[in-house]
Amino acid sequence: MKIFHIAILLIGLTTLSPLVWAGDGTHPPKKKSGKKRGTFLLELPASLNTSPVDSVKRKPDSIEARLTTAPAEEAPFKPSIQVGAIVHMFASAEQSGFGAPSTDADSKGWNKGFSVYRARVLVGGQLSKKGSFFMETDLPSAIGTQLSSGVKNVKVAPIILDAQYEYDFANAFSLVAGMQLVSNNRNGLQGAGGLMANDFTYFQYPYNLFANSPLQGNFGRDLGVNARGFLANDKLEYRVGVFTGRNIDGGAPLRTVGRVVYNFLDPDKDYYYAGTKLGKGKTLSWGAGWDEQASYYNFSTDVFFDHPLGDAGSLTLNAAFQYMTGGTNLDSKYSFATLIPKQTVQYLELGYYFKEPKLQPWIRFENQHIDAAAEQTNGVDPSAYNKLNSSAVYGGGLNYFFNGSTTNLRLSYTARSYHVATPTEGVYDKQTYGQVWLQVQFFIF
**Does residue 73 lie in a domain region?**
no
Query: Cα Rg for the chain, rounded, in angstroms?
Result: 27
CA dist 183 and 241 (Å) reads 10
CA distance 123 to 79: 14
365-388 CB burial, b ≥16 within 10 A, e <16: ebbbebbbeebbbeeeebeebbbb
Boundary (domain end) residue, out of 68, 94, 111: 68
pLDDT band at 39 (very low <50, low <70, confident <90, very high): very low
Percentage, residues of the chain above pLDDT 70: 82
Domain boundary among 45, 68, 91: 68
Q: Are residues 193 and 332 in the same domain?
A: yes
Task: Give 211-263 pLDDT, tens digit per residue.
Answer: 899 999 999 999 999 999 999 999 999 999 999 999 989 899 999 999 999 99
- Is 308 in the same domain as 160? yes
Provide the CATH number for the domain around residue 250: 2.40.160.10
The verdict on 218 and 280 lying in the same domain is: yes
Residue 37 has pLDDT above 80, yes or no: no
| Domain membership flag for residue 207 | yes
Q: Let me know whether 54 and 111 are in one domain.
A: no
pLDDT tens-digit readout, 78-113 = 999 999 999 999 999 999 888 887 767 666 788 899
What is the extent of the structural domain holding 37?
2-68
- Same domain assignment for residues 64 and 174: no
135 & 206 share domain: yes
Q: Are residues 319 and 266 in the same domain?
A: yes
**Within a domain: residue 169?**
yes
State whether 11 and 91 are in the same domain.
no
Mean pLDDT in residue range 382-391:
94
Going by C-alpha positions, the residue among 181, 207, 203, 183 that lies closest to residue 192 is 181
Same structural domain, 252 and 399: yes
Inform me whether the pLDDT recorded for 319 exceeds 80.
Answer: yes
Query: Within this chain, do residues 209 and 143 fall inside the same structural domain, yes or no?
Result: yes
- Asked whether residue 174 is domain-assigned, the answer is yes
Whether residue 31 is predicted with pLDDT greater than 60 in this model: the reply is no
pLDDT digits (tens, 9 = 90+) for 157-200: 999 999 999 999 999 999 999 999 999 999 999 999 999 998 98
Asked if residue 74 is part of any domain, the answer here is no
Question: In the predicted model, what is the mean pLDDT of residues 61-66?
Answer: 44
* Number of separate domains in the chain: 2
- 171 & 224 share domain: yes
Q: Is residue 42 in some structural domain?
A: yes
Residue 306 pLDDT > 70, yes or no?
yes
248 and 276 assigned to the same domain: yes
Is 77 among the domain residues?
no
Mean pLDDT lowest among 4-13, 132-141, 333-342, 397-406: 4-13
- Of 154 and 324, which is predicted with more confidence? 324
